[in-house]
Amino acid sequence: MTPETIDSYAVRLRPFRLDDVPDTVVACADPVTQRGVSGMPNPYTEESARWWITEGAPAAWAAGGAAYAIADPATDRLLGGIGLSHPVPARAQLEIGYWVAPWARGRGVATAATRALAEHAFAAGCARLELLTNEENTASQRVALAAGFRHEGVRRSANPGRDSLTPRGGGRHDLIAWVRLADDPPGPADRLLPDLPDGRLTDGVVALRRLAPADTDPLHRLHTLPEVVANRLPPAAPTRESIERRCRLAESHWLAGRSADLAILDAATGTVAGGCALVYDEPASGQAMLGYSLLPEARGRGLATRAVGLLAGWAFDIGLARLWAGTRPENVASQRVLEKVGFTREGLLRGRLPGPEGTRTDSLLFGLLASDLPR
């Protein structure tokens, strides 16, 4: 590829210039940029910007990649940077990456630039583009989806961390791989699990919303209750750290289509009453597993039945064909909830679940079709 100007999707991609130095310094020293691009110099100085413009960007071009400034077509002011790296000629593959200046965020700049550069790369002979995001960088994951990239998997411990920039310290972190092929259809990638309408589901008595980091304490209390631990896989109490990670990554797992992990709220008070989840375990057949549990103070009020009904209705609305749930044979209360919603007992799976001290426990299987749900 050669460094030519690309005007597309209301952004301009052009080579960096020395008059971009002041904006580059401010943008690349920004904490959000620093967290998103682990290889960014820290502190980022005028010298860093000059090196990038005079040496770093030209080196990217010489290595078979690309390094563009994202600019406003009307003013030519710097809005960010985008480039191609890690070429694998035998696979006709490149990696695409970007950053956006603070004054340009929230305007679709990253999505527009990614679409423009992807199309340019494909026209130049690239067959496969990879886009790697930090597991917590859901803004970048949404850009990937909007630009037509599909979730492909997780690169375990692929990214070095920074002690000064991550609340959990340094070490290595996972990266999520998103991929677009030259012959993929144009437009945003289809999502298995869309966002909830207006961010929540509610019937006025109970409400469901995506788990968030602030839910760590009530969720940890819930999942360390003996009766809830007995139904976990394996039947062991989780650490607070594991629950905190679950809450932090709930949006990322949702965007990847793996699971919709939700907090159950008392709609009147907004307090967390429990948790429920939809795990998309078999996308090829349109089947997902549903699970739920309530804190002791929220039980006996019909909230679980309402929450399961809301989640099931949403699942069928977005195109799922079948839901299933399993309970221990002695968990009569949970079975009653499922039956009230419309689930049918389908059978007993002997020894399905691991029990304490190497034992195995049976599981009752319940299934629900869209036609079973009361309307």
* Residues recorded for the chain: 375
Q: Name the least confident of 41-45, 135-139, 143-147, 370-374.
A: 370-374
- Mean pLDDT, range 227-244, rounded to an integer: 88
Q: In terms of Cα–Cα distance, which of 91, 142, 110 is closest to 27?
A: 110
pLDDT digits (tens, 9 = 90+) for 100-126: 999 999 999 999 999 999 999 999 999
The predicted pLDDT at position 214 comes to 96
Banded model confidence at residue 172, pLDDT cuts 50, 70, 90: confident
Taking only Cα atoms into account, the Rg of the chain, rounded to an integer number of angstroms, comes to: 24
- The band of 167, judged by pLDDT with boundaries at 50, 70 and 90, is very low
Rounded to an integer, what distance in angstroms lies between the CA atom of residue 115 and that of residue 129?
11
Q: What per-residue confidence (pLDDT) applies to 357?
A: 79
Q: What is the pLDDT of residues 283-310, one digit of tens each?
A: 999 999 999 999 999 999 999 999 999 9
Residue 166 has what pLDDT?
Answer: 46
- Domains of the chain in start order, with CATH, are 6-181 (3.40.630.30), 197-372 (3.40.630.30)
Query: Residue 102 is which amino acid?
Result: P
pLDDT(164) > 60 = no
* pTM > 0.75: yes or no: yes
- Own/partner pairs, 9-12, CB within 8 angstroms, 24+ separation: 9/111, 9/112, 9/113, 9/115, 9/116, 10/73, 10/112, 11/70, 11/71, 11/72, 11/73, 11/79, 11/109, 11/112, 11/113, 11/116, 12/70, 12/71, 12/72, 12/73, 12/76
What the block records as the tokens of 72 is 């406003």
Band of the pLDDT at 91, cuts 50, 70, 90?
very high
